[in-house]
Structure 1
C-alpha cells in the first residue's frame, strides 16, 4: 500500500470515529449509567488561510462494567493530519495500557509518549506538522482525568467558579528547558514567543523538525466530580485567546443544553474577533 493510500485510510477512520457521536444527536449526547450527564460540541472554521485543522472526540464508551466519557480537542498546525491521527488513535492507546485502571495517570503519560513516537515514525505520511491536545476521561461519572500538551484548555465550573485543569505550555514559561536542548525562544515585537522562531507552544505531538526542542510530556490532573460540579469546558485556543476562564463559565452557567452552550461559546469568541479555528465541548452535570 502506498503512502497516499495509507493516509487516505487514516482519514476515513477519523471520519468514522467522529460520525458516531455526531450522527444520532447532531453534536450532543448523554451518559448511560450517568443519565444526568450530557455533552455537546461545536466547531467553527477560522478565517485564516488554511482548511480546518481542529478535530475532537465527544462520546461515552462502555469498557467491561465501566462507563467512560471520552472528550478531547486536537488543534493541528501546519496541516491537519496529526490531529486526525490523534482523534483516531490516542484514546485507544490510553485504554490499551495495562495499568489504566490501577494507575490512570501513568497510563495516560505512557500512551501520550507512545502515540507521539508513532506519529514521528509516520512523518512521511503525516507530514511535518503537529497538534496540541487536551483530553478528559470521565470514569463512571465520578472522577475526571485531564491531560494536555499545548494550549488547548480544560476548565471546570464548581459553584459558579472557574478552575483551569490544564496547563498552557507557553514557550516563555519553558524557555530554560528549550534552551537546554539547544533551541531558542524568539520574542519579536508584535508577535508571541515561539520555539525556534516558529511554534507558539512548547509541547506538542509531531513537529518532527522541532522535536529535539519540544516535549510531548503531558500535565495530568485528577478531579473528583461532586455535587458542586456544574460543567466542564474543553476548547482550542481560538476560544481562550479572546475569553478568560471565568468569562466562559459566566456566559453559559444558566444554559441547560450542552450543545447550545458549546455553540454559544464559539459564537461569543467570533463576536470578539477570534480568527482561529474554534472547537468547543461542554459536559454538563445536572
Structure 2
C-alpha cells in the first residue's frame, strides 16, 4: 500500500477528511443501526480544496457522541482545517457541556473564533462557515451553524431544515448596525461590504467588525420516525432543495454511498463549488 493510501486510511479511521481523502464511513458502537458516511468533491475553481469534514463516534465516560461537521472555507484552507482540528475539542472541554449544551456550544464557537483571529498571522485573512451536529447516545441531536452550510433531517420521508442560512440580505440590519453594508456590486450576489457572500463566519479578520460568528443552535430528538440526516456545504444547496436532497438518497441504505450519490447529483445539476456531504443513517 502506497504512503498516500496509508495516510488516507488513517484519516478515514479518525474521521478527518479534506481533498486528499475524499470519502469515509463509520458506525456507532451503541446502536448497530446508526452509521455515517461522507464524500467530498473538489469544485471547478482554481484554488485548492477548501471544504473539510469531521465525522467520528467518540466515547466520553459512559456516553457515546457522534461528532459531525462540515467546514467550508473561503480565501483559505487554513481556517477550516483549524476548525476541523479544534472546534469539537473546544466544545467538549466546556465544563457545562452536559448540563447546558447549547450555552457550551455558543461559548466554544466564540472562543474558537477569537483564537482564529488572534492567530491571523499564521492562519491568514480568510475564513470558514461551519455546521456541526452532535449526536448524544443516539437519542439527541444538537446542531449549530454559522454561514450557509446546512443540516437537514428526514423523518417519514419529509425533509426538515435544522440550521439557518446566514445570508447578507437577510441580516442587512444587523450588518448595518455594526457599521457595515450589504452590496450586490460587483456581481449580483449580496455580500458583506461587497466582499463576503455569508453574514456569519469564523475568521475574516478584516471584516470582523461587521461579521458575526454567533451560531444558531437547534435540538432534535431521534425517534423511530427518523431515517437520516444530511450535513452539506452550499455546493449542494445551491442546486437542490431540502426535499430534493432527501428524495435523492432515501432509497440508498449505505450512508457513504448516499453521500457520494448526493454529490454526484449536485454535479449533474451543474454545481461548480466544492461539495462536501455527510449522511448519518438511523435505519
> Structures share a fold, TM > 0.5?
yes
What is the SS of the residue equivalent to 1:203?
Answer: coil
Specify the alignment match of 2:149 in structure 1.
152
Q: Give the superposition deviation at 1:188.
A: 3.6
The answer on whether the counterparts of 1:251 and 1:265 sit within 8 Å (CA) in structure 2 is: yes
Specify the alignment match of 2:236 in structure 1.
239
C-alpha separation between the residues in 2 aligned to 1:170 and 1:91?
Answer: 25
C-alpha separation between the residues in 2 aligned to 1:182 and 1:237?
Answer: 27
- Equivalent residue in structure 1 for 2:28, among 26, 31, 48: 31
Q: Deviations over 1:119-163 (max 9, x none)?
A: 000000000000000000000000000000000000000000000
The answer on whether the counterparts of 1:143 and 1:224 sit within 8 Å (CA) in structure 2 is: yes
Specify the alignment match of 1:220 in structure 2.
217
The answer on whether the counterparts of 1:133 and 1:148 sit within 8 Å (CA) in structure 2 is: yes
Q: Give the superposition deviation at 1:101.
A: 0.3
C-alpha separation between the residues in 1 aligned to 2:230 and 2:116?
Answer: 27
Specify the alignment match of 1:258 in structure 2.
255
C-alpha separation between the residues in 2 aligned to 1:212 and 1:18?
Answer: 37
Aligned length: 270
Q: Give the superposition deviation at 1:19.
A: 5.3
Runs of at least 4 residues off by over 6 Å: none
Matched, 1:80 2:77: yes
**Residue 19 and residue 207 in structure 1: after superposition, are their counterparts in 2 closer, same or farther (change >3 A)?**
farther
The answer on whether the counterparts of 2:12 and 2:25 sit within 8 Å (CA) in structure 1 is: no
Specify the alignment match of 2:189 in structure 1.
192
**Residue 170 and residue 259 in structure 1: after superposition, are their counterparts in 2 closer, same or farther (change >3 A)?**
same
Specify the alignment match of 2:38 in structure 1.
41
- What TM-score, normalized to structure 1? 0.92
What is the SS of the residue equivalent to 1:171?
Answer: coil
Unaligned runs of 5+ in 2: 1-8, 18-22
The answer on whether the counterparts of 1:82 and 1:126 sit within 8 Å (CA) in structure 2 is: yes
RMSD: 1.5
- Equivalent residue in structure 2 for 1:65, among 62, 67, 71: 62
- Equivalent residue in structure 1 for 2:99, among 99, 102, 106: 102
Unaligned runs of 5+ in 1: 1-14
Q: Give the superposition deviation at 1:187.
A: 2.1
Q: Give the superposition deviation at 1:268.
A: 0.4
What is the SS of the residue equivalent to 2:95?
Answer: coil
What is the SS of the residue equivalent to 1:50?
Answer: coil
**Residue 189 and residue 88 in structure 1: after superposition, are their counterparts in 2 closer, same or farther (change >3 A)?**
closer
What is the SS of the residue equivalent to 1:40?
Answer: strand
What is the SS of the residue equivalent to 1:138?
Answer: strand
Q: Deviations over 1:18-47 (max 9, x none)?
A: 652379xx6111100121100000000000
Q: Give the superposition deviation at 1:224.
A: 0.3
Matched, 1:136 2:130: no
C-alpha separation between the residues in 2 aligned to 1:37 and 1:165?
Answer: 19
